[in-house]
Structure 1
Amino acid sequence: MSNTPTPAHKPVVALTLGDAAGIGPELIARLLSQPGITAEANIVLVGDAWLWQQGQATAKQAVVMQAVTSLAEVRGRADTRLPAFLATDTIQQAQVQRSQAQAACGTAVLQVLDLCMDGAKRGEVDAICFAPLNKQAMKLGGLKHEDELHHFAEYLGVTGYFCEFNTLGELWTARVSSHIPLKDAAAMLSKERIMDATRLIYTSLKASGNITPRVAVAAFNPHGGDGGVCGSEEIDIIEPAVAALRASGVPVDGPFPADTIFLKARDGQYQAIVTMYHDQGQIAIKLMGFSKGVTVQGGLPVPITTPAHGTAYDIAGKGMADVNATFNAFKIAQRMGAARLKPAA
């Protein structure tokens, strides 16, 4: 008996082409050319037709699609072996100068992402995977937040804790503060934020298919504060947060010095690391596997993923883009989307 889910039981995963001046369209063409890519997901690509054609030409791939006129049509398709394509009209080819951050590209990205989130609000989309975007272009194009995650959270009405996860294979990382100046990172530390970040990455890992993840929490100061000699945040904030998490049943250890914590994860002791600020985790995980990493937008009502690398303007249009991270981002979106379809136990 086949284990392939029937069309009705496949999660609807919406894909986007990302920034029109970058490598996103090529990446999506390479992704949808992968054998068996639709086996466990009902895929709908949302984007401008000319840009999708350009992406296929750059990747030297021709992907057969089924046209749809709305996201509402996607779940009811009797045959999901072909990806669906929902054509939009957000940007003209003449507006795009390849390999440059432009307002028109940022505006188009926001329009497509908002369309996908509207579908998620209506229950038509179970997960979203977007190709790389450019924050400068998005801000030129109307983004009013520090990053796309905060835009997603406001658009979807999130009132609880949310944060970015960066993943590399079985290892996921969260951070207590993100896109802020380093001088402000200490002020963002609190017992509550550390607990929220830890609980969120723990439950999200379980939703992605890891049933028994173990979490490690990083220290903030060099050498973990050296008993208070090199900073007291560990004693005053981080250790109490870890103790409270353990008491609530979360399998968590720490704080560990940030310069050794990833060695423990590399050796398989932990599947998740909670860091205290952006580069504390980003440098390590990108060094361990830049071309494979994925960003998961944590704490949202719908799973949203993307490759952790950027638009790679330097190689846009050259047919050189590596699809590994995009494939990994899609597979996480597919698994988390499938988990949302399962009835509660």
Structure 2
Amino acid sequence: MRQTVSEAPPRVALTMGDPAGIGPELTVRLLATPENLHKAEVYVLTDAAELKAVAAEVGVEVPVADAPTPGHAVLVGSDLPGRPVERRTVSKAAGERVMADLLKALGLYRSGTVDAIMFTPLNKGSLHLAGMHEEDELRWFAKNLGYEGTTSELNFIPGLVTSRVTSHIPLKDVAARINADSVLAAIRLLDDVLKGSGIAAPRLAVCALNPHAGENGQFGREEIEHIAPGVEAARAQGMDATGPYPCDTVFIKARNGDFDGVITMYHDQGQIAMKLMGFDRGVTVQGGLPVPIATPAHGTAFEIVGKGVANLGPSQHAYDLAVALGRRNRQG
């Protein structure tokens, strides 16, 4: 019997991340876990020689096939295979390999081959040497997809997700980027992604910008003039959003289970709390793009490359999210 779109497994493109870091190790360990290759069709951006070498170093075996087969990965190659890259260091060569693989993964999405993308850790220094000069990978992805809609990095730990109104910009520029429309867009994006991950009615908290939520205008008027109107607009559209809350207490409520997601006004407002609560379990999703893209929220960990001790937890969580969001993407 032929599978319908709703029954067919999601299709995920998987890159090995920065070859100088722990990404290759994490990749083969994911692929060597049998249940992972039954959750989705996995298209890996490497060739047989590279995969075999990494798997041998890690001490695992990865089953591969020439076409989608349950329990096997499909190797689609890299546009820069076999290029020498010095391990445990930032380099242009490493950044070029990463960018080539990500561009090819985007091409697989455009061609209808995959429904989601996952990449293991990258190094921003190497990416900048290779010519990526956007604020972050999210803006680079948006540019290469020709996407001009609302985007935000979403950070996941088990039981809680954050989105941001602003992200990789100087603190002095944050207030000017906050308005009712940008707050509403960040709320809507988080609400939509949480629904896609399986939460039917997400409970969302919105952070204030100023200390004590502005103290009724004494410490700033962003809460009164911009953030609260954005929250009200979201509620008028049926979203369960409340706030603005002082950011020094809202994560206590979120940790206790009062909220499924928190919308923050700038990068560290949420990241400090999230990394304290779940650094070894965190995942970043490139939110808002037409294709779901997930990655573990940690870095390339040069200090443990080759030791076989990298924590697989965040990568497994990122893979599971890519599968779940890819399934939703495929079903339309």
Return the TM-score normalized by structure 2: 0.95
Equivalenced residue count is 330
1:101 has 2:100 as partner: no
Deviation at 1:6, TM superposition (A): 9.8
> Which of these residues, 189, 214, 219, is aligned with residue 178 of structure 2?
189
Deviation at 1:191, TM superposition (A): 1.0
> Which of these residues, 202, 210, 216, is aligned with residue 227 of structure 1?
216
Q: Which residue of 2 aligns with 1:165?
A: 154
Tell me, yes or no, if the aligned pair for 1:100 and 1:313 is still in contact at 8 Å: yes
Tell me, yes or no, if the aligned pair for 2:78 and 2:100 is still in contact at 8 Å: no
SS at match of 1:9: coil
1:124 has 2:113 as partner: yes
1:209 has 2:208 as partner: no
Which blocks of at least 5 consecutive residues in structure 1 are unaligned? 68-73
2:120 is matched by which residue type in structure 1? A
SS at match of 1:179: coil
d(CA) in 1 for partners of 2:117, 2:287: 12
1:273 is matched by which residue type in structure 2? V
1:219 is matched by which residue type in structure 2? A
d(CA) in 2 for partners of 1:91, 1:224: 52
SS at match of 1:164: strand
SS at match of 1:137: helix
SS at match of 2:42: strand
1:28 is matched by which residue type in structure 2? T
> Which of these residues, 240, 258, 261, is aligned with residue 251 of structure 1?
240
Tell me, yes or no, if the aligned pair for 1:45 and 1:85 is still in contact at 8 Å: yes
d(CA) in 1 for partners of 2:95, 2:135: 14
Q: Would you identify which runs of 4 or more consecutive aligned residues in structure 1 move more than 3 Å?
A: 4-8, 48-51
1:90 has 2:80 as partner: yes
The alpha-carbon distance between structure 1 residues 173 and 7, as it changes in their structure 2 partners (threshold 3 A), is closer
1:84 is matched by which residue type in structure 2? V
Give a deviation string over 1:289-322, Cα, whole Å, max 9, x none.
1111100001111100000001111111111100
1:29 has 2:28 as partner: yes
d(CA) in 1 for partners of 2:198, 2:262: 17
Return the TM-score normalized by structure 1: 0.91
Tell me, yes or no, if the aligned pair for 2:79 and 2:100 is still in contact at 8 Å: no
Deviation at 1:49, TM superposition (A): 4.5
CA RMSD of aligned residues (A): 1.8
Give a deviation string over 1:230-286, Cα, whole Å, max 9, x none.
221111111111111111211100011101111111111110100000000001101
Alignment of 1:143-154 (within 5 A): 143-154=132-143
SS at match of 2:149: coil
Q: Percent identity at matched positions?
A: 44
Tell me, yes or no, if the aligned pair for 2:6 and 2:330 is still in contact at 8 Å: no
Which blocks of at least 5 consecutive residues in structure 2 are unaligned? none
